[in-house]
Structure 1
Amino acid sequence: MAIQWFPGHMHLTRKLIEERVKDIDVVIEVLDARIPGSSFNPLLQELTGHKPRMKLLNKQDVADPVQTQAWLDWYNAQPDTLAIAMDAEEVAPARRLVDTCRQLAPNRGGMAKPMRVLICGVPNVGKSTLINTMSGKKQAKAADEAGVTKDEQRIVLDHDFYLWDTPGMLWPRISIEQSGFNLAASGSVGRNAYDEELVALELLLILQRRYPQNLEDRFKLGLGAEKIQAMHDDELLEVIGRKRGCVMSGGRVNTQKAAEIVITDYRTHILGRITLETPQEFEQWAAVAVIADAERQAKKDALALTRKTGRKLRK
């Protein structure tokens, strides 16, 4: 079962974006460069799909540079899409986004037709940090947790350039199961919506396969990359827990505490530059989700037909 999180304020954000986008010239969707596929919001695509758009892979400084380039190539190969990667705290690249937006909507500008840009994305992806960097002052509240921004804000970046910041929003049902785990591991899901041990185990499976040396270097396991790759994820979590002193009475490992350490070390970039998914993997996950959704809908339709037939027979 995929992780789900769509609290009430996200329903309001959906309605807000649906109304606001009518007057918007350019849409900037901020993605997490560590999970560029999972942080893409299909609901935002649906709401803003007819507008010129920019995919901004934020946090590139903590993502795997080889995979970041692969994702840029993948997104830029899609129709009507401009994808760039950056670190929201870098001033010069952030401020160049104003010129990029003007290029995407060349007929806008001047007091008669000011540029109107909507910035959106999943929670905790760095929208507020980006806005503060672009404007040169703290105008949006930023924090390393999901759901900080709750209201729309209009920020004036120039005399004819207006930027609307919207609260982070997921979508009503995350059908790609791995995306739910990757979003939770990266801090885009509310803490009450997932089990930290399960998320840590899913995270370890990826790190074992792709970044075993990062685990060795961080936790000083003394095992080597090959042994780390061969271990079961449960066993690896216990080994990490023992190394970090998460031992309870009787010698048992506090796996909850170990899970928190693994997730925190990933989120705070102590584990190094990491990307949790490739374009090819994400395409495969999406294909599986489409089939699962079709099967789910067929079961619902069959159940509805059975109930309808039963009502007719009773009459």
Structure 2
Amino acid sequence: MSIQWFPGHMAKARRLLLEQLKWVDVVLELADARIPISSRNPMLDKLLGNKARLLLLNKADLADPNLTAKWLTYLRESGPAFAVSATTGLGVKQIVPELERMVLAKQTKQAEKGIRQQMIKVMVVGIPNIGKSSLINQFTGGAQAKVGNKPGVTRGNQWVRIHERVELLDTPGMLWPKFDDPEVGRKLAALGAIKDDIFDIEELSTWIIDWLTLYSPKALLRYQVSDSEVTLESLGRKRGCLIHGGRVDTLKAAQIFLRELRMGQLGPITMDGISE
């Protein structure tokens, strides 16, 4: 079963991207290091064509470092890719030198024709809540971009000078019309790229707990009372989410669990596996 949805602002974001692509030298694509494949918009390959692209696996501080290293080796077969954290600043200093390297050939040709060195124009793209505004803040000291931890906070498009030679065009977060693999939709929702009202968050939390039990059991140690299996019920009991009659408020438990997962309080987690 595929999950189909495509809010109007997503269609508008796609149109804007196509209109503004001609102004830029390089596209900076942000993905989530915890889901380095599931968080990449499959429409981008067609939309961007041959435009130079630098892939950044953001939120690398929240991902499993061993898996991030393996993913980077794989992803670099298609083009330059770095692991970064827009919150801690990890890896951010690599970005501008790489952008300069990527436009060097083009600018050398322009110099030969007597055209003086231009600003490097960069467009940043990615799914909602991927950390585009936080990345811009790393460069500008927070004066330019509005940051929020909910999808869709970045409004409109704006050019921001992030370096003496680099101007960056911020674009709204963009998802794609349908998820053919429901697991991709769940992973995106788990990490906050999709608004919580799209999924039943109790079902979603139960699915994540089952996934972690199978693939990353250490992440659930903080919720275990004994050797018993972690469930939304036992998690809620441990967190004191009790209502009349000693029953567990599983909705509140799900909200707490998702918040702790997204903030990295369960430890480093990568939900996209990679074969050895």
Answer yes or no: is the 8 Å Cα contact 1:3–1:181 preserved in 2.
no
Task: Identify the residue that residue 130 of structure 2 maps to in structure 1.
Answer: 125
Q: 1:269 to 1:5 in 2, by over 3 A?
A: farther
Q: Is the 8 A contact 1:147 1:167 kept in 2?
A: yes
Determine the C-alpha separation between the residues in 1 that align with 2:3 and 2:233: 24
Deviations 1:118-159 (A, max 9, x none): 111001111111111123343111111111112111012345
The residue that corresponds to 1:262 in the other structure is 257
2:131 corresponds to 1:116:
no
1:32–1:123: structure 2 CA closer, same or farther, 3 Å change rule?
A: same
Q: Please tell me the residue identity of whatever aligns with 1:58.
A: N
> What is the deviation of 1:240?
1.1
**One-letter amino acid of the structure 2 residue matched with residue 84 of structure 1:** F
Q: Distance in 1 between matches of 2:54 and 2:80?
A: 5
- 3-state SS of 2:162 partner: strand
Give the length in aligned residue pairs.
Answer: 269
Seq. identity, %: 40
**Structure with the bigger percentage of helix:** 1
**Cα contact 1:241–1:258 (8 A) shared by 2:** yes
The reply to whether residue 101 of structure 1 matches residue 99 of structure 2 is yes
* Cα distance in 2, alignment partners of residues 219 and 33 from structure 1: 24
In structure 2, how many angstroms separate the alpha carbons of the residues matched to 1:137 and 1:96?
19
**Per-residue deviation at 1:90?**
4.1
Cα distance in structure 1, aligned partners of 2:74 and 2:204? 27
Q: Deviations over 1:158-194 (max 9, x none)?
A: 4542211101110111212111001001110122211
Name the structure 1 match of 2:111.
none
**Residues 201 and 220 of structure 1, relative CA distance in 2, 3 Å threshold:** closer
Q: Quick check: 1:9–1:150 contact (8 Å CA) kept in 2? A: no
Q: Partners of 1:275 and 1:237 in 2: how far apart?
A: 21
Contact 2:34-2:270 at 8 Å conserved across structures: yes
- 1: CA distance between counterparts of 2:206 and 2:32? 21
Q: CA deviation at 1:252?
A: 2.9
Partner of 2:83: 85
Q: Matches of 1:255 and 1:157 in 2, distance apart?
A: 44
Matched, 1:155 2:160: yes
> Which one has the bigger strand percentage?
2
TM-score by length of 1: 0.79
Give the structure 2 partner of residue 25 of structure 1.
25
Q: Residues 92, 272 of structure 1: CA spacing in aligned structure 2 closer, same or farther, 3 A cutoff?
A: closer
Q: Secondary structure at the match of 2:56?
A: strand
1:242 paired to 2:244: no
- Cα pair distance change 1:244/1:136, threshold 3 Å: closer
User: Structure 1 residues 111 and 88, CA, compared in 2 at 3 Å: closer, same or farther?
Assistant: farther
1:196 and 1:41 map into 2 onto residues whose CA distance is 23
The 2-side partners of 1:265 and 1:35 are apart by: 17
What CA distance in whole angstroms lies between the structure 1 residues aligned with 2:3 and 2:201?
11
* Matched-pair contact (CA < 8 Å) for 1:37–1:279: no
The one-letter code matched in structure 1 to 2:94 is: R
Deviation of the 1:108 alpha carbon: 3.2
Report what 1:69 is aligned to. Answer: 69
1:164 partnered with 2:163: no
Match of residue 50 from structure 2: 50
CA RMSD of aligned residues (A): 2.1
Residues 141/262 of structure 1: CA separation in 2 closer, same or farther (3 Å cut): same
In 2, Cα distance between equivalents of 1:98 and 1:5: 36
State whether structure 2 residue 271 is matched by structure 1 residue 276. yes
Which residue identity does 2:118 align to in structure 1? K
